[in-house]
Structure 1
């Protein structure tokens, strides 16, 4: 089953009810860019661990290399250590040296220095150099604004001059809301997982291999890991595809118009977007990017990247030659971006309130056409006139084994429910309800009372009858 918030073509299939979850592991503390300062005799008791603290006029920090990063310890001793101490400074440990190489590489990426970025890679491996060159150029095309390695030792029994490293790469791209640290109410920046091997080459540490599969997270690989990407920039949208995609600029005006429509709804829920990023996946990459989609009927999904934002991925093979379906799909997926994108921890999970999440995305996707114009109308008619018609618009989320007809009816019922609330209480009231329930985690009845001025039970009863009459 697909993951994320999906759009299906007629006849529709069942979308996954799950929204992607943030990475399970917390980011490790930032790595020191340089080897640790020499220790001082009988240091003072540390006043703080995990961050650099300035005490009085001068504070000296010594970075202590750990398997999971570095701790910073404050020293208040005067700088009067014996001269003999300088002669006994131990060379930096391999992990410290490797971390310094990775830190310099990350800094080179952010300042656009391709030569310095590639200096971290084994110069004897042309294929590996080419891969890192592609990664550099794709990340720069996407406007990378944050890139940080967070490492731990993968194998503490490595041979001399060799080191295995588990590296989590925290990153942000242009337009992201880049929360760089994980906290109580934030999952921090998006992360990919790598396994790196580094070796000394002519006395210098270099990356000799990178494996994105051994430790890949659920939604890996991300598009920029292994692909040469090109972008088309509009006023509101960045389209991203493989280099050489002939339709990239032709499709940009369609996406721009869809984004303009969606911007209005973003304002109604109080979640304006800097810009939207949409990936156009060909046949092969559709099955690979962000873990891939294998269901042949799904044509698009929206994938949250923590608070950084939400990426939209479209199945270009299915949408390339159907501009109406393309526009509807883009509006639907951007509808997810503005209504549930960027919510913080504590808000509803992927299955809770799925009827409203998908219903409001369908409402935005088909706007300004009513629910009765949707290709799902027949499935809704069959459902409401069946032997077991729905008794509430807040229907349960789809199960993993739901049929295609059940999935089509589910999306259609959500669309009809949203349309009913807009027509009975006004569109602004509908999106106030969406904001309160989906983004602010208010329960149905308090959200209904504030948005519509009436209990949800009354709204529910009225809309069940409205749908039955119009389907």
Structure 2
């Protein structure tokens, strides 16, 4: 430790960790009731609020809010068109000057990411801000695409504040998405430098711009591996990778990861999992493995995440298998940690192998290694395609392990489980 900052360590001391935050896709037209209540509590207002499109007799307060919502929507559409056209002046034109610094940063970051789709629609109705006459807060659902012009858009719900101004309300502030869905996106709060390849987008801060050429080459190579693990449909149109400096690691997507985290993938909807790498937590030799691991999550996992801790070994085992790059079992980087875990009284149950957030790096490495070895055994015995059939049945279709094993392997899961455990113990001997 130097100056209270964690120094970089070998990858296996920062084992790979994936956060699977399930986005609540607000696909309906309207604000969920609990969220409406939260907005009202925050503002202190008690207006009549109804869902967009709901049939209700408008009282005067609702009629005012609905009319303002329509005018704000017009402004948002103007801003969206300006963003897609690369018109920064037009993007800023709907806002008060006090909001321009933040909006310039967002505009620049989104243009760097080659935004090709941007749609903004109110979610619910605006509510007045207590203590600020003429100012309103409105949640807006933004949907975005990067690079690919016809992608399935990823949604994000962001609070906005507006000041009444006749037919053209003025945007006072655009808030951070924070914990409403998956946490604050990098393009909301950071200047970005971006490199784009055939299969990947890699973004980082301007201070780390020099890392981009190497990271892009590594990401493109990892994407070729990850594409083979798209178990349900096509791979993502582009893998989105964000390389976080020390400050950004604490803020992007909410931060607050376990100390042993080197990277994670977070679902953002639209068929995308955005990957974040910890610049301070990577050794020079661990980035390739980590990228293969995390991009395999992005290719293989459903938008709603995986069923739970009982299948953690399968989700992480598949990603570790991809990350290992086909090396022999005895060359697997975490085999020493597996030996310590197995020799330290492991109960032999795959379902309970996931590590706690405060687990030691050694314990985490052992857990990932057990998952890797179990998946490795199934691949060695049945081949990769049957393993992916099993993975799809369990993780995507939420079928029981018994039913999935019978379908994919023609065997009872209890038998296969014991075989996997025996393989782990033998490899760790």
- Alignment TM-score, normalising by the size of structure 1: 0.74
The equivalent of 1:56 in structure 2 is: none
Instruction: Deviation per CA, 1:234-257: give whole Å up to 9, x if none.
Output: 111111112351111232111111
Structure 1: tracts of 5 or more residues without a match: 1-6, 31-65, 74-89, 181-188
Whether the 8 Å CA contact 1:105–1:120 is kept in 2: the answer is yes
Structure 2: tracts of 5 or more residues without a match: 1-8, 32-47, 56-63
Instruction: Deviation per CA, 1:197-242: give whole Å up to 9, x if none.
Output: 32439x84211233327x7526322111122222111111111112
Q: Equivalent residues in 2 for 1:140-151 (5 A)?
A: 140-142=111-113, 143-151=115-123
1:332 aligns with 2:293: yes
Whether the 8 Å CA contact 1:420–1:463 is kept in 2: the answer is yes
Determine which of 411, 425, 428 is the counterpart of 2:382.
Answer: 425
1:166 aligns with 2:138: yes
The equivalent of 1:246 in structure 2 is: 210
1:276 aligns with 2:239: yes
The equivalent of 1:457 in structure 2 is: 414
* CA apart distance, 1:425: 1.7
CA RMSD in angstroms comes to: 3.3
Instruction: Deviation per CA, 1:321-364: give whole Å up to 9, x if none.
Output: 60x3000000010111112143x5xx743434111111111111
The equivalent of 2:169 in structure 1 is: 205
The equivalent of 2:226 in structure 1 is: 262
1:381 aligns with 2:339: yes
Instruction: Deviation per CA, 1:290-341: give whole Å up to 9, x if none.
Output: 001454432110011124410001112333x60x300000001011111214
The equivalent of 2:159 in structure 1 is: 194
- Alignment TM-score, normalising by the size of structure 2: 0.81
The equivalent of 1:130 in structure 2 is: 101
Secondary structure of residue in 1 paired with 2:262: strand
Whether the 8 Å CA contact 1:239–1:252 is kept in 2: the answer is yes
1:405 aligns with 2:362: yes
Whether the 8 Å CA contact 1:15–1:407 is kept in 2: the answer is no
Higher percent of residues as helix: 2
* CA apart distance, 1:391: 2.7
Distance in 1, Cα, partners of 2:349 & 2:150:
37
Distance in 2, Cα, partners of 1:158 & 1:379:
58
Secondary structure of residue in 2 paired with 1:311: strand
Whether the 8 Å CA contact 2:156–2:181 is kept in 1: the answer is no
Secondary structure of residue in 1 paired with 2:295: helix
The count of corresponding residues between Structure 1 and Structure 2 is: 393
- Given the superposition, is the C-alpha separation of residues 260 and 292 from structure 1 closer, same or farther in structure 2, using an over 3 Å criterion? same
1:153 aligns with 2:126: yes
* CA apart distance, 1:429: 1.7
Instruction: Deviation per CA, 1:126-180: give whole Å up to 9, x if none.
Output: xx213212212222332241321324323276766x2211323322222498556
Distance in 1, Cα, partners of 2:264 & 2:86:
31
Determine which of 71, 94, 99 is the counterpart of 2:53.
Answer: 71
Q: Equivalent residues in 2 for 1:294-443 (5 A)?
A: 294-319=257-282, 322=284, 324-342=285-303, 348-386=306-344, 388-443=345-400
1:228 aligns with 2:201: no
Whether the 8 Å CA contact 1:433–1:448 is kept in 2: the answer is yes
